[in-house]
Amino acid sequence: MSEKLRALLKNQICDNGPMDIGLFMAQVLGHPEHGYYMRQDPFGAAGDFTTAPEISQMFGELIGAWIADVWIQMGAPNSFVLLECGPGRGTLMADALRAAKKVDGFHEALEVHFLETSPTLKRVQAEAVQTHNPVWHDSLETLPADKPLIVIGNEFLDALPMRQLQKTKEGWAERVIGLDGDDFCFGLKPYGGGVPEDVSGAREGHIFEFSPAQLSFVEDVAQRLKTQSGAALFIDYGETKTQAGESLQAIYKHDIVSVLEHVGDADISANVDFGAMGDAARGQGATVHGPVEQGEFLKQLGIEARAAGIMKNANETQQQEIEKSLRRLTESDQMGSLFKVIGFSDGAALTPAGF
Ligand code: SAH
């Protein structure tokens, strides 16, 4: 399968010259037939990586409580859109909905919408939340525009294409992917655009990563929040502030490999620039909450009490598992600091929990 993807990319490079990393990433991950996410379920021990909702039910449950709290703060509208971007196996949404079941009127008011392009994962998601009749979208454009909106996304932004610049003697150049014989290789081509103030002093050789796709996605979400009212929550690994540095990597069966290896069979992602995401949302008039570290956010939402609660009915092995997942999600040397959480709302009247 991925042979076809590699051939297709090579043909494009032969025809049009080296391509920017964004175009490469968009096709490797999202090509309708051969893209990484289109063909397989990449999660869990047998897959390439494990995400927070797959580590413990507590993650989705706390986000369920976060959503219900936002809904109450919004005045408990009797109909609203709950959108999850890139739901993977649908685990987060299933745990969130179960946890918020007891909130009066919440289930009756919500419409579940998913932004997802992978046919394989859509089938898995349908299984996970079948009683809620979810509606799938390929883009935000088809999302209902006449209702309040709550948006969530875990490890979604990092799946959107990003590009790299490198500082050279002559100034910034764009890193591109070309061919060396039959192999993919990195190269540089002139870059005419500007860079943010924060990285203008970078030294020769330094890399700056940016994602027009993430920025325009966040702008669209923020615009929606402004016109429809509501809030959004995005969780991903990344930096609080815009800065130079390279984080682009591929993950193949839980190992980090070069993005030029296992093309189409490995996940590709890079750190999210939360500083830039916040600026993008503010630019559309939205209020920004955070970013904060995932560990802090989950503790604010009460993950320790939740862990203690479920431990009461667990046997010793299960208790050890719960302890382990708690540490994995919150401790700084695990996912607690690397992952950040950012919230957006239509105005300062909403104060989403956890920030
Ligand atoms: N949120 C899940 C999965 C994260 S992986 C979890 O935490 O386990 C990224 C998810 O985003 C996958 O479901 C993938 O298919 C989806 N995705 C990637 N690019 C996308 C795009 N451009 N539009 C919609 N969904 C996308």
Same domain? 24 vs 173? yes
pLDDT digits (tens, 9 = 90+) for 273-329: 999 999 999 999 999 999 999 999 999 999 999 999 999 999 999 999 999 999 999
Token representation of residue 191: 């870059």
Q: Is residue 261 part of a domain?
A: yes
Q: Are 249 and 269 in contact (CB under 8 A)?
A: yes
pLDDT at residue 29 tops 90: yes
Same domain? 74 vs 122? yes
Q: Which of 207, 196, 145, 136 is nearest to 174 (CA)?
A: 207
pLDDT digits (tens, 9 = 90+) for 62-81: 999 999 999 999 999 999 99
Q: Is residue 200 part of a domain?
A: yes
Give every CB contact of residue 22 below 8 A, 6+ residues apart in sequence: 161, 162, 163, 211, 212, 213
Q: Is residue 343 part of a domain?
A: no
Same domain? 170 vs 274? yes
Q: Distances in Å between the alpha carbon of 173 and those of 107, 168, 245?
A: 51, 7, 15
For atom 25 of ligand 1, the residue with the nearest CA is 116
Same domain? 169 vs 22? yes
Q: How far is the CA of 324 from the centre of ligand 1 (A)?
A: 25
For atom 18 of ligand 1, the residue with the nearest CA is 159
pLDDT at residue 125 tops 60: yes
Number of independent structural domains in the chain: 3
For atom 24 of ligand 1, the residue with the nearest CA is 116
90 strand-pairing partners: none
Same domain? 216 vs 144? no
Please indicate whether residue 153 or residue 44 has the higher confidence score (pLDDT): 153
Domain housing 82: 52-154
pLDDT digits (tens, 9 = 90+) for 152-202: 999 999 999 999 999 999 999 999 999 999 999 999 999 999 999 999 999
Of 156, 217, 339, which is best to mutate to test ligand 1, by the most ligand atoms within 8 angstroms of its C-beta?
Answer: 156
Same domain? 255 vs 163? yes
**Nearest-atom index, ligand 1, CA of 153:** 1
Of 23, 29, 31, 37, which is best to mutate to test ligand 1, by the most ligand atoms within 8 angstroms of its C-beta?
Answer: 37
CATH of the domain at 61: 3.40.50.150
Q: Is 56 in the pocket of ligand 1 (CB under 6 A)?
A: no
Q: Determine the pLDDT at residue 1.
A: 52
End-to-end CA distance of the chain: 44
Same domain? 141 vs 248? no
Give every CB contact of residue 95 below 8 A, 6+ residues apart in sequence: 53, 57, 59, 60, 61, 63, 64
Q: Determine the pLDDT at residue 165.
A: 98
Q: Is 159 in the pocket of ligand 1 (CB under 6 A)?
A: yes
pLDDT at residue 348 tops 90: no
Q: Is residue 39 part of a domain?
A: no
Same domain? 173 vs 287? yes
DSSP helix/strand/coil, 183: strand
Q: Determine the pLDDT at residue 47.
A: 72
pLDDT at residue 49 tops 90: no
Q: How far is the CA of 269 from the centre of ligand 1 (A)?
A: 11
Q: Is residue 350 part of a domain?
A: no
Long-range (24+ apart) CB contacts under 8 A made by 190-194 are 191/165
Same domain? 170 vs 74? no
Q: Is 54 in the pocket of ligand 1 (CB under 6 A)?
A: yes
Same domain? 127 vs 227? no
Q: Is 154 in the pocket of ligand 1 (CB under 6 A)?
A: yes
Q: Is residue 36 part of a domain?
A: no
Q: Is residue 128 part of a domain?
A: yes
Across all residues in the chain, what is the average pLDDT?
95
**Nearest-atom index, ligand 1, CA of 38:** 15
Q: How far is the CA of 52 from the centre of ligand 1 (A)?
A: 13
Q: How far is the CA of 29 from the centre of ligand 1 (A)?
A: 10
Q: Are 298 and 59 in contact (CB under 8 A)?
A: yes
Q: Is residue 38 part of a domain?
A: no
Q: Determine the pLDDT at residue 39.
A: 75
For atom 11 of ligand 1, the residue with the nearest CA is 86
Length of the chain: 355
pLDDT digits (tens, 9 = 90+) for 127-155: 999 889 999 999 999 999 999 999 999 99
Q: Which of 335, 334, 354 is nearest to 343 (CA)?
A: 354
Same domain? 143 vs 163? no
pLDDT at residue 45 tops 70: no
Same domain? 24 vs 163? yes
Q: Is 116 in the pocket of ligand 1 (CB under 6 A)?
A: yes
Q: What percent of the chain has pLDDT over 90?
A: 90
Q: Is 30 in the pocket of ligand 1 (CB under 6 A)?
A: yes
Q: How far is the CA of 152 from the centre of ligand 1 (A)?
A: 12
Q: Determine the pLDDT at residue 218.
A: 98
Q: How far is the CA of 160 from the centre of ligand 1 (A)?
A: 9
CATH of the domain at 270: 3.40.50.12710
The arithmetic mean of pLDDT across residues 80-88, rounded, is: 97
End of a domain among 104, 129, 154?
154
pLDDT range class, residue 122, cuts 50, 70, 90 = very high
